[in-house]
Structure 1
Amino acid sequence: MHRRFQRAYTSIKENTFVSYVKIATAGGFCDIDMILVKATSPEDIPLRDRYVLQLLKIFMISPPSYRTFATSFSRRFSRTKCWRVALKCLILLHRLLRALPYNSPFRTELLWTRSNGYLSLNPCPFLDTSSTNSHDYTHFISSYANLLNEALDCLTIDCVEAYEEESDEDEDEDEEVTLIERFPDKMKRVGEKLEILPQLQTLIDRVIECKPKGAAARTFLIQCALKYIVRDSFFCYNSFRREIVAVLDNLIQLPYRSCMVAFGVYKKAAVQADHLSEFYDWCKSVSLCGIYEYPFVDRIPEIQIQALDSFLYGMWQLTESSSSSSGSPIASTVGSSSSMDDEKPLVRFNNWVQFEDDEKKEEKALIRFDNNKIMSWEVLLEASVLLAPLLVSDNCFYLWNDVNEETGDDLKIQVNNLV
């Protein structure tokens, strides 16, 4: 009886709001609050495009309306107990985020309302009281809100892509720049990609969590919302696949710590690919989007993860042994430094050894190639999988390659000393 009373009260309240707004609009009064209420009516019809266009037109004419919308949206979303109203609020927010550029004041105002406690998307306080399967609808609304909350924090993705386009244009104009001068900029961009990859993985996790359960999976309005979510996941996954390939192509030129971060991302991607593939299979089974729209999900075999782990561990052990083999000059230097007042003390933390200096030196790459030869990480990984013979001599190791037998050249890789 109590649940029936709650459902009846929620329905009467939401329909009363919509009826009042329609009367006020007919009398010539119309503002953002009224557009928001009409757009999020508790009806089993999708969000109409005209409300999105009206809001975009108001934003273009009156920039202060961004804060007005953010405040009205926060009030509307936080007070409703109807899953239809809450879902349409999130769909409206999602569509506006897609329509407006990343540097628009719209995102800034949303972040302001969130930071001041007016808007809460994660954790989401919504609790449905308008249906018999309230748990299923509450779960989907909370998952959808968490996804949009994560999307608000991923502004750097667009910024870095714009920076890369500008950098590529500058490189095309200046053809006289040497490879050595371009290398630091290239490594800087790889480092920025390495910061973006965990954000993309978090977004993909939030997308997978949006899979509805129970009665919510069979609801037409939720399937409409899923189409926006799934299509955005295509862009997100394609961006992740492109960025991870760019990082892995330069893996052996990165510092050891960055290599381990990239390996952690790659290891998580292997598990995430299985979950994403299952989610896409379910979406195809309920006819969400066209079959041709779904990207190919790369499955990463476990043997490849193990081989890359062994390779990185072996490189670090080899580097440590190379550092310890030259320990006598270091030891003599440290021993003599006790008698010198102006000698910098030796600082050791974890497995890293460095000297204090006024200027911070740039961390060297884990592996450096002789004769400026570029070797992709796939070649080294394949060699480690095939258990190619390894010969260590003079801080170098040799991988015998059948392709190089004709020329008589060996694949020689120089391992840097971390001291």
Structure 2
Amino acid sequence: MGSWRKAYGALKDSTKVGLAKVNSEFKELDIAIVKATNHVECPPKERHVRKILLATSANRPRADLSYCIYALSRRLSKTKNWIVALKTLIVVHRLLREGDPMFKEEFLAYSSRGNILHIANFKDDSSQSAWDCSAWIRAYGCFLEERLECLRVLRYDIETERLVRYPQTSSKVHSKTRTLPSPELLEQLPALQQLLFRVVGVQPEGAACSNYLIQYALALVLKESFKIYCSINDGIINLVDMFFEMPKYDAINALAIYKRAGLQAENLAEFYDFCKQLELARTFQFPTLSHPHRFLQRWKSTSEKHPDPRSRVSRRARSRSY
């Protein structure tokens, strides 16, 4: 049955390439998408991904960008094969990571019209391993959808953000969240925490754990998790510094963000311990995770600047909150 499926998949791929050569107005792009997302169980070939990146660069017409998104969405919605679905998601992920900012804007605009990835109900039940891989693909799709939502909230891509060296901490570089004002910080940190929740959710199970193609995609998520964690960490430091100047409602929200950061640090540590056992992580340098409780002393020292007993939060109440 496996050999028959491979042969049938190869036939479908060659047929689609042939049709693209004859019927498509975007012939080169359609051929590159089919070849990058074919039924062969290996990562998309770099030359095909590069052609897609070139076709969606800033010097191309806006219509080309829209068509590429449409073609990838159509490819994903029509397939019942887990390999094709996963390779399509990998191409989408690569475009979001490495693509031109104009392409990301177009992707956001396209996604605002409805579900672009069509992955929530995806399943390939041709075998037990395909079933396990399908479950992972759904989790990966959720991560990519959350990545888009985070991009919409932050209005910048955390993966391409340049870390900044600030004068007061000249020995270190920091994320943008380190200096955000309170309103923006309280908007962006929950979005980043939700994205980190989706990161931890892509831990594979069953046959998916040992699959090389899934490990390739997992490596892309793992690389992004490092910056996501750093942005949340810098945001928490910023949050602690501003806590006692916040209005009461904002302070309640800030405390909820702080508590969730503690739970997420523990979950992320377990996720990293799992990933360290995989082949994909041999060359990775994992960050040292800091539990938010290490900011407790900073929080207490900040509170010393607000000794007024008439203040919104008494010192006794603060000690209980710790």
The TM-score with structure 1 as length reference comes to 0.62
The letter of the residue matching 1:150 is E
TM-superposed CA distance for 1:118, in Å, is: 6.2
Instruction: Provide the identity percentage.
Output: 30
Indicate how the Cα distance of structure 1 residues 211 and 392 shifts in structure 2: closer, same or farther if over 3 A, else same: closer
Indicate how the Cα distance of structure 1 residues 245 and 89 shifts in structure 2: closer, same or farther if over 3 A, else same: same
Secondary structure class of the residue paired with 1:53: helix
| Aligned ranges 1:7-406 → 2 under 5 Å | 11-23=6-18, 30-60=27-57, 61-63=59-61, 64-101=63-100, 103-104=101-102, 106-117=103-114, 119-121=116-118, 124-155=120-151, 156-157=153-154, 159=156, 189-290=181-282, 293-301=285-293, 377-379=299-301
In 2: Cα distance, 1:21 partner to 1:52 partner? 17
In 2: Cα distance, 1:274 partner to 1:12 partner? 45
Deviations 1:147-186 (A, max 9, x none): 00011112243549899999x99xxxxxxxxxxxxxxxx9
Contact 2:199 2:221 in 1 (8 A): yes
Deviations 1:334-384 (A, max 9, x none): xxxxxxxxxxxxxxxxxxxxxxxxxxxxxxxxxxxxxxxxx9633156x7x
TM-superposed CA distance for 1:49, in Å, is: 1.4
Indicate how the Cα distance of structure 1 residues 292 and 18 shifts in structure 2: closer, same or farther if over 3 A, else same: closer
Deviations 1:105-140 (A, max 9, x none): x2343344434346245x623111343323311110
In 2: Cα distance, 1:110 partner to 1:160 partner? 13
Indicate how the Cα distance of structure 1 residues 192 and 23 shifts in structure 2: closer, same or farther if over 3 A, else same: same
Secondary structure class of the residue paired with 1:140: helix
Secondary structure class of the residue paired with 2:56: helix
Contact 2:44 2:91 in 1 (8 A): yes
In 2: Cα distance, 1:163 partner to 1:42 partner? 34
TM-superposed CA distance for 1:88, in Å, is: 0.5
TM-superposed CA distance for 1:393, in Å, is: 6.8
In 2: Cα distance, 1:378 partner to 1:133 partner? 52
Indicate how the Cα distance of structure 1 residues 190 and 94 shifts in structure 2: closer, same or farther if over 3 A, else same: same
In 2: Cα distance, 1:193 partner to 1:266 partner? 12
Whichever structure has more strand as a proportion of its residues is: 1
Contact 1:160 1:192 in 2 (8 A): no
In 1: Cα distance, 2:124 partner to 2:313 partner? 64
TM-superposed CA distance for 1:202, in Å, is: 0.6
TM-superposed CA distance for 1:285, in Å, is: 1.1
Secondary structure class of the residue paired with 1:211: coil
| Aligned ranges 1:400-415 → 2 under 5 Å | none
TM-superposed CA distance for 1:297, in Å, is: 1.2
In 2: Cα distance, 1:238 partner to 1:143 partner? 23
The letter of the residue matching 2:268 is L
Whichever structure has more helix as a proportion of its residues is: 2
Indicate how the Cα distance of structure 1 residues 38 and 376 shifts in structure 2: closer, same or farther if over 3 A, else same: same
Secondary structure class of the residue paired with 2:279: coil
In 1: Cα distance, 2:98 partner to 2:274 partner? 28
Number of equivalences: 297
RMSD of the TM alignment (CA)? 3.8
Indicate how the Cα distance of structure 1 residues 165 and 212 shifts in structure 2: closer, same or farther if over 3 A, else same: closer
TM-superposed CA distance for 1:190, in Å, is: 2.4
In 2: Cα distance, 1:71 partner to 1:398 partner? 56
Contact 1:40 1:88 in 2 (8 A): yes
Indicate how the Cα distance of structure 1 residues 235 and 263 shifts in structure 2: closer, same or farther if over 3 A, else same: same
TM-superposed CA distance for 1:19, in Å, is: 1.6
In 2: Cα distance, 1:53 partner to 1:24 partner? 22
The letter of the residue matching 2:278 is V
TM-superposed CA distance for 1:209, in Å, is: 0.6
Of the two, which has the highest radius of gyration? 1
Contact 1:164 1:189 in 2 (8 A): no
In 2: Cα distance, 1:396 partner to 1:149 partner? 39
Contact 1:82 1:129 in 2 (8 A): no
TM-superposed CA distance for 1:266, in Å, is: 0.7
Contact 1:284 1:291 in 2 (8 A): no
In 2: Cα distance, 1:148 partner to 1:396 partner? 40
